[in-house]
Amino acid sequence: MAATGDSIDTENANWTFGGDVCKTFDEHITRSVPLYEQGHELVIQVADFFLGNGSNCYELGCSTGALTQKLAARNCKKKIRIVAIDLEPEMIRKARQRCGEIEGLTFLASDILDVEMDQADLIISYYTMQFVKPKNRQIMFDRIFQSLNWGGGFLLFEKVRAPDARFQDMMSALYTEYKLGNKYSPEEIIAKAKSLKGVLEPFSTQGNYDLLTRAGSVDTMTIMKYMCFEGILAIK
């Protein structure tokens, strides 16, 4: 076992969001992902363009429900249905505690590949798809766009690879500096990187755009970008 910071211990090539990770997840992810909370605000503002009375919305990989809660609060006067899904039961338990008895909100502890989605006006994947095995990723994108109503939106936030080796070296170095600036030790940074081998598999921006186009995206736009972290809005 190796410490990756924020009281999270991991093994080589075996990062997990299960167990006790939920206890310090919010602090860990906020320190690890640039503009994480700002991205939440952008998501709920973009959602205004898609969610109306009677809308269905899915959040894929809701973790502790921080974004779910904000989205539900902003739309509390609309009769919408939000389904928040996460693989880890402990994450779902914490999300339920955070959100309480919010009307129209459902939590599912399930693999997103196993969920049959109803027709929806908005589907959100906030730093989740990068953990879906590459062999299954196009399948998941296809299912998302099959479930979207015409004109519906898919918000995809991901860590991305740079377009070539030189840029990738630069982005990796800048991200290491970012984590050092957030008081992670070199040992914690290395342990986290080792734990994510074969678990976190980011695609390039173009790779994600290609997945979206094949799935049925009509219009696609990057709405947030900072180093190797990107938010994309795709419309069916």
pTM, rounded to two decimals: 0.95
Average pLDDT over residues 172-177: 97
Q: Is 142 part of any domain? A: yes
| Domain residue limits at 207 | 37-163+200-235
Q: What CA–CA distance (Å, rounded) separates 67 from 65? A: 6
Strand order in the sheet with 148-159: 105-109, 81-86, 56-60, 120-126, 148-159, 229-235, 219-226
Average pLDDT over residues 107-123: 96
Residue 41: what pLDDT? Answer: 98
Three-state SS annotation for 115-128: CCCCCEEEEEEECC
Residue 2: what pLDDT? Answer: 67
Which tens digits make up the pLDDT trace of 81-107?
Answer: 999 999 999 999 999 999 988 889 999
Number of domains in the chain: 1
- Backbone φ and ψ of 233, nearest 5°: -110, 120
Q: Is 55 part of any domain? A: yes
pLDDT band at 235 (very low <50, low <70, confident <90, very high): very high
Q: What is the CATH number of the domain that holds 69?
A: 3.40.50.150
